[in-house]
Amino acid sequence: MVGKFIGVGVGPGDPELITIKAAKTLKIVDIIAVPKTHADAPSMALNLVKYILKERLKPAEILELIFPMSKDEVEVKKLWAENALLIAEKVESGKTVAFITVGDPMFYSTFIYLFQTLREKHPKVKVEIIPGVTSLTACAAKAQIPIAEKEEVLVVIPSDLDLKLIEETVGHADTLVFMKCAHRFKAIIPILQKIGYSENATVAVVRRCGMPGEAVAVGRLADVQRWVLPEDYFSMAIVKREKAPINRG
C-alpha cells in the first residue's frame, strides 16, 4: 500500500487559528514531519499542535527534518534532496506523512522547497496540501485594516528585497505588505514618500501576531520614524496609499 505526503498549514501563531481539517489530519496521520533549523532548535509549528497530538488514540512518529539557514546553494539542495528521499521512502512504505508549517504551506513556506524537490525527484509520491491562515490575513485582522477592496492592487514584498527593486515595484500599488520587515522598515519610508505616498498614508506594524509578546502599532506614515520597532523576525508592515479609518482602541 502506498501512503501520502500532506503539507499542513498550522496558522500564524495562535493555536485557535488551526483549521478543522488540519486538526483532523494531525490526529490520524502516521508520521508528523517537523522542520527545524538545527537539531537542538525548538519547533514553533510542533508547539502549536501539541494540544491536538494529545487527543490522538496513539502517538504519532515525529520526524525531525533539518533545514539550516545557509547561503551555500549546493549544500542546501543536497539537504533538500536527502529530506525528500526520506519522505518518499516513508510514503512508499505505506505511511501517511504530514509536514507541519507555520502559516500557509504555499506562502513563503519551507514546505514549498520540499514539495518542489519531491515533484522533481520523486514524482510518484502522492501529495495533498491543507491551507492555513496566513500571517498576512492574521495581521490585517489584528490591525483592523483591509488588505484590498474594489479594484485596489496589493503587493507583497519580502524583507530583504533590494531598495531599488522596491521602488520599481510599489509605484502602482494601493496596499503594500512588507514581510519580516522590522529591521529595515524605517529605511523604506523615504522610498514610499518619494513615489507619492503621503504623510497621512495609513501604516500598521504587527509583531508576533497571535503569539506571546504580540504588539500592534497603527498610525500615519509620518509617525513611523518615531516608533520603536525592535528587530523581530515575526513582523509585518501594512501600508495603505490612502488614509484608512483607524480603530485606535
pLDDT tens digits along 73-111? 888 889 899 999 999 999 999 999 999 999 999 999 999
Assess contact for 152 and 162: CB atoms under 8 A.
no
Q: Are residues 163 and 96 in the same domain?
A: no
- What pLDDT is recorded for position 69? 73
Which residue among 79, 101, 130 closes a domain? 130
Q: Are residues 126 and 15 in the same domain?
A: yes
- Number of other residues whose CB lies within 10 A of the CB of residue 163: 12
In a domain, 247, yes or no: no
Query: Considering the entire predicted model, what is its pTM?
Result: 0.90
Domain extent at residue 100: 4-130
Residues of the chain falling short of pLDDT 70: 1, 70, 243-249
Assess contact for 84 and 35: CB atoms under 8 A.
no
Q: Are residues 189 and 168 in the same domain?
A: yes
The CATH number given to whatever domain includes residue 60 is 3.40.1010.10
The SS3 assignment for 52 reads helix
The SS3 assignment for 62 reads strand
Which residue among 108, 130, 152 closes a domain? 130
Mean of the per-residue pLDDT values of the chain: 92
Q: Are residues 120 and 17 in the same domain?
A: yes
- What pLDDT is recorded for position 248? 46
